[in-house]
Amino acid sequence: MQTLTVDLGDRSYPIHIGPGLLDRAELVAPHLAQKRAMVVTNTTVAPLYLARLTAALEGAGVAVANVVLPDGEAYKNWETLNLVFDALLAGRAERKTTLIALGGGVIGDMTGFAAACYQRGVPFVQIPTTLLSQVDSSVGGKTGINHPLGKNMIGAFYQPKVVLADTDTLKTLPARELSAGLAEVIKYGLIRDAAFLAWLEANMTKLRALDPAAITHAIHRSCEIKAQVVAEDEREGGLRAILNLGHTFGHAIESGMGYGTWLHGEAVAAGMVLAAMASQRLGWLDAADVARTRAIVRAAGLPDAAPELPFETWLEYMGHDKKVEGGRLRFVLLKKLGEAVITGDVSEAVLREILTR
Ligand code: NAD
Ligand code: GLY
């Protein structure tokens, strides 16, 4: 097992990465304020892992309730969130009862938001079971739900007490979902670490085959980069926005196509290629850099081109991005491979050119 820390003063917390962690209740128990927990999961993950986690926690003397939500991005909304509150209230969960998110990013984001709201804040634990959630969404405290007009528009910053990334759970993950997670892994190389990007290029086949050493290194390095950025700028006053490379375009794809049609990671992948193209138009990347971005995205089994949407649809959905300031769109682009910048200097002409080609 490897462990690293998200350094946020008295809200710091460990991320444990390795095989077999679902059975290691001793990693969770010290973070519980009382020996009661409610596991939030979904109809896909529950049959795979809920019984094991419950048995491990009960073995450590923890009373465990659960709520099983419908599965899918399309359910990341108020109605589904309310099912968690219903279960918490019906089960008389208290202020010290811990919510445990068992699942991918949808479950993690909703559980974290429920924890932030229930009785104005109860502790929560992240047990991410997709690659995307192990390298990104379980770390850093962004929680929330979607609105029909915009992705992740309703939410809160709320940090977990501990993150347990059990790499064995990736064995049951469909290949398409594994690729979606690789999009966020590639993102870390593009924004912050050219050497990691080169390592990913050399190891993509191993990663897609879930080679234990390769996948553990990729998760560890990704979490390390994310933890550094979050420690510097927890509430996205500036720097943290670089973690959104490809996301302005990607969120527009997700909303514009209808939630769940494109996976989040797929939309981010196509968005990162668009960001590389825009960076080339601004004279920062050259054609070879854009080709490299496309190639690694493709090697990960991800789309390297955006779907066809009317230009007005792009503008409409990109206009709901959280980086918009004074009505002006802002994008995360690349000064070079391994270095991101946030800029409002992308003209409508450039956008039209890259989005309607
Ligand atoms: P997801 O949660 O929808 O999971 C993908 C699919 O895999 C689901 O069907 C899920 O039930 C299933 N699944 C989960 N674990 C499994 C396993 N071990 N074996 C088999 N199937 C399994 O999607 P995701 O890609 O994990 O997360 C995407 C979500 O995360 C989006 O809503 C996105 O907005 C959010 N996100 C949040 C942050 C953040 O910082 N909070 C960062 C990135 C993404
Ligand atoms: N996934 C972007 C962030 O956590 O800031």
Catalytic residues: 120, 142, 184, 226, 236, 240, 244, 247, 251, 264
DSSP run (H or E) holding 44? none
The mean per-residue pLDDT over the stretch 277-293 comes to: 97
Give the burial class of 243: count Cβ atoms within 10 A of its Cβ; 0-12 exposed, 13-18 middle, 19 or more buried. buried
CB 123 within 8 A of CB 115: yes
Asked if 144 and 113 count as a contact pair (C-beta separation under 8 A), the reply is yes
Q: Return the ∠ at Cα 40 (arms to 38 and 46), rounded to 5°.
A: 115
pLDDT of 311 = 92
Residue 89: pLDDT over 90 = yes
Verify whether ligand 1 is closer than 6 Å to residue 104 (CB atom): yes
The model's confidence at residue 255, banded by pLDDT at 50, 70 and 90, is confident
How far, in Å, from the CA of 141 to the mean position of ligand 1? 15
Domains 2-172 and 175-355 are alike in CATH topology:
no
Distance CA 239, CA 314 (A): 25
Q: What tokens appear for 138 in the block?
A: 């379980």
Rounded Cα distance, 291 and 277, in Å: 9
pLDDT for 76 equals: 96
Q: Is 244 a pocket residue for ligand 1 (Cβ < 6 Å)? A: no
Ligand number with the minimum distance to the CA of 264: 1
Averaged pLDDT, 239-257: 93
Domain range list for the chain: 2-172, 175-355
> Does residue 224 line the site of ligand 1, with CB under 6 A?
no
**Structure tokens of 333?**
């682009």
Distance 64 CA to ligand 2 centre (A): 30
pLDDT in tens, 193-238: 999 999 999 999 999 999 999 999 999 999 999 999 999 999 999 9
pLDDT for res 61: 97
Q: Which of the listed CATH numbers 3.40.50.12780, 3.40.50.300, 3.40.50.20, 1.20.1090.10 matches domain 175-355?
A: 1.20.1090.10
Name the band, by pLDDT with cuts 50, 70 and 90, for residue 92: very high
21-70 tens-digit pLDDT: 999 999 999 999 999 999 999 999 999 999 999 999 999 999 999 999 99
Tell me the average pLDDT across 286-296. Answer: 98
The three-point CA angle 116-320-146 to 5° equals 40
- Side-chain half-sphere exposure of 343, counting CA atoms within 13 A: 13
Q: How far is Cα 45 from Cα 53, in angstroms, rounded to an integer? A: 11
- Check residue 204 and give its pLDDT: 98
Q: What is the CATH number of domain 2-172?
A: 3.40.50.1970
**Which of 6, 131, 226, 247 to probe ligand 2 with, by most ligand atoms within 8 A of CB?**
226
Is residue 60 within 8 Å of residue 25, measured between CB atoms? Answer: yes
